[in-house]
């Protein structure tokens, strides 16, 4: 115990109470990091035992001692939130909540609560193994301008977490180490020497180093050419390599209604983009010749073609929409977009529409939209990401924030302009640096180029700013 304000007898009594409510378990368990462990701590059960929860929160807060610089408290979601709430209510120190994912509507905040730049925030956590969960939370808080240097933890599993946190400037204090808990429970005849030996041997054998970068940010710290080798989809690999080769991350949204205007734009901007995005059903003079000429330009300037069809029907219907009709999208579009609303059957349907196509194809699953008050939130986003990660036909995910960790998928983010703004129909725009920092690998730029007086100059400016932001997010 690192705090002399709490007696050994109090800690032992509290440890026994935690054991008796089944918060401390012994047997064989698979941990979040994938290791088998002879001990497992499930502190979520404390919410059913208010008296123990209150005692635990007050004992943990004894670490604060005479600290007068703590302006905010933040519990790591979700198990530590009740403890942080009790501490906040007991001390009258404001509390912050870090969301599991950023809101996809309204303010799109990832931190809930009122705070000022420079506020000192202490982290509350239940159990630390590698320290990665704390680092995830700290990363978000620090991006918002908060100072985070302390973490108060109930149990340190003694597997490298404390050292990892210290390397990131976080001093961790724990009520218990596993070794101390074993001693208390053995003395109280709650466990046997055999159990103590099994746990001790496990601790000696397994140390779990935290990554230098929190898991959710790993993808953003790895170069495109490395990620190209991680892709299951040929189009995703090609995109990563194209972005690296052309030093461009522009997907140009050619949302124009005249075929010649699109072809002229494609020829002008083609050398500086990696993908051209169309909505063929808005083209007033669409012909097969238009597609032929567009494909020739794509080959000439080395960019891919995306038809932003946003398929959203049952499998059989989307197969026909993809393959048949006036536009015959499957024959020429390297990439199409698809809503996740219909589930896995929509991917299977699109795949069946490629039976007579020899060229590689890729799908982008739409998980988040850039329109105000979009309904693509919460569980829908998680389901869309899961669907995308389980198919070798999916090249990437359309989203507004860093919601997935798969290195081989491309994040495509729409709504990019040099200055933050919105239009009269709910479209919201963010700056190149903002979208890249939010996870964008490929950025959709439309009206910022198509409505510019000098379209080539605008293309070059976006290319420059987006690439600079990408380089800036990589490690030195």
Enumerate the active-site residues.
310
Say whether 8 sits in a helix, a strand or coil.
helix
Place of tokens 């983010």: 413
User: For 85-97, b where at least 16 C-beta lie within 10 A, e where not — what string?
Assistant: bbbbeeeebbbbb
Nearest to 93 by CA among 69, 112, 59: 69
Give backbone dihedrals phi and psi of 368, rounded to 5 degrees, phi first. Answer: -135, 150
Say whether 346 sits in a helix, a strand or coil.
helix
| Per-residue CA distances from 32 to 27, 37, 170, 411 (Å) | 16, 10, 22, 25
**How many CB atoms are closer than 10 A to CB 392?**
14
Nearest to 398 by CA among 438, 353, 451, 338: 338
Nearest to 371 by CA among 428, 315, 323, 317: 428
Q: CA-to-CA distance for 263 and 247, rounded, in angstroms?
A: 23
Sign (positive or negative) of CA dihedral 270, 273, 278, 284:
negative
Q: What is the largest CA-CA distance in the chain?
A: 85
Q: CA-to-CA distance for 336 and 390, rounded, in angstroms?
A: 17
Q: CA-to-CA distance for 3 and 153, rounded, in angstroms?
A: 12
Taking phi over 0 as left and psi of -120 to 50 as alpha, with beta for the rest, 65 belongs to left
Q: CA-to-CA distance for 134 and 84, rounded, in angstroms?
A: 14
Burial class (CB in 10 A: 0-12, 13-18, 19+), 331: middle
**How many CB atoms are closer than 10 A to CB 174?**
25
């Amino acid at each position: 115990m690192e705090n002399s304000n709490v007696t050994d007898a109090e800690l032992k009594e509290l440890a026994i109470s935690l054991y008796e409510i089944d918060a401390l378990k012994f047997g064989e368990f698979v941990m979040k990091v994938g290791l088998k462990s002879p001990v497992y701590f499930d502190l979520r059960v404390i919410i059913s035992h208010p008296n123990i929860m209150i005692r635990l929160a007050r004992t943990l807060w004894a670490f604060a001692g005479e600290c007068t610089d703590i302006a905010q408290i933040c519990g790591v979601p979700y198990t530590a939130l009740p403890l942080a709430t009790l501490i906040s209510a007991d001390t009258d120190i404001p509390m912050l909540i870090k969301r599991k994912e950023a809101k996809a509507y309204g303010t799109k905040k990832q931190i809930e609560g009122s705070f000022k730049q420079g506020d000192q925030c202490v982290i509350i956590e239940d159990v630390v193994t590698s320290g990665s969960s704390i680092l995830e939370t700290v990363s978000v808080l620090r991006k918002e301008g908060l100072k985070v240097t302390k973490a108060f933890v109930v149990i340190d599993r003694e597997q490298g977490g404390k050292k990892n946190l210290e390397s990131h400037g976080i001093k961790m204090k724990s009520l218990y180490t596993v070794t101390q808990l074993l001693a208390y429970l053995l003395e109280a005849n709650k466990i046997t020497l055999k159990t103590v030996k099994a746990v001790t041997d496990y601790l000696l054998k397994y140390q779990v180093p935290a990554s230098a970068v929190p898991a959710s940010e790993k993808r953003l710290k790895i170069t495109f050419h490395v990620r190209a080798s991680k892709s299951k989809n040929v189009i995703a690999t090609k995109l990563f390599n194209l972005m690296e080769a052309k030093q461009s991350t522009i997907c140009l949204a050619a949302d124009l209604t005249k075929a010649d205007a699109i072809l002229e734009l494609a020829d002008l901007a083609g050398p500086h983009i990696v993908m051209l995005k169309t909505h063929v059903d808005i083209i007033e003079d669409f012909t097969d010749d238009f597609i032929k000429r567009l494909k020739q330009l794509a080959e000439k300037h080395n960019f891919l073609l995306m038809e932003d069809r946003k398929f959203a029907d049952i499998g059989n219907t989307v197969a026909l929409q993809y393959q048949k009709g006036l536009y015959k999208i499957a024959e020429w579009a390297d990439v199409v977009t698809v809503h996740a609303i219909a589930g896995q059957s929509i991917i299977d349907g699109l795949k069946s529409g490629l039976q007579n196509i020899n060229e590689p194809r890729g799908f982008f699953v739409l998980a988040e939209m850039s329109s105000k008050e979009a309904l693509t939130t919460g569980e829908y986003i998680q389901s869309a990401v899961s669907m995308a990660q389980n198919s070798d036909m999916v090249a990437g995910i359309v989203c507004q924030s860093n919601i997935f960790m798969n290195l081989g998928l491309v994040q495509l983010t729409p709504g990019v302009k040099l200055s933050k703004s919105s239009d009269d129909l709910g479209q919201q725009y963010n700056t190149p640096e903002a979208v890249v920092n939010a996870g964008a690998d490929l950025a959709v730029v439309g009206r910022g180029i198509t409505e510019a007086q000098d379209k080539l100059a605008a293309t070059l400016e976006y290319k420059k700013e987006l690439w600079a932001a990408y380089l800036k997010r990589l490690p030195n």
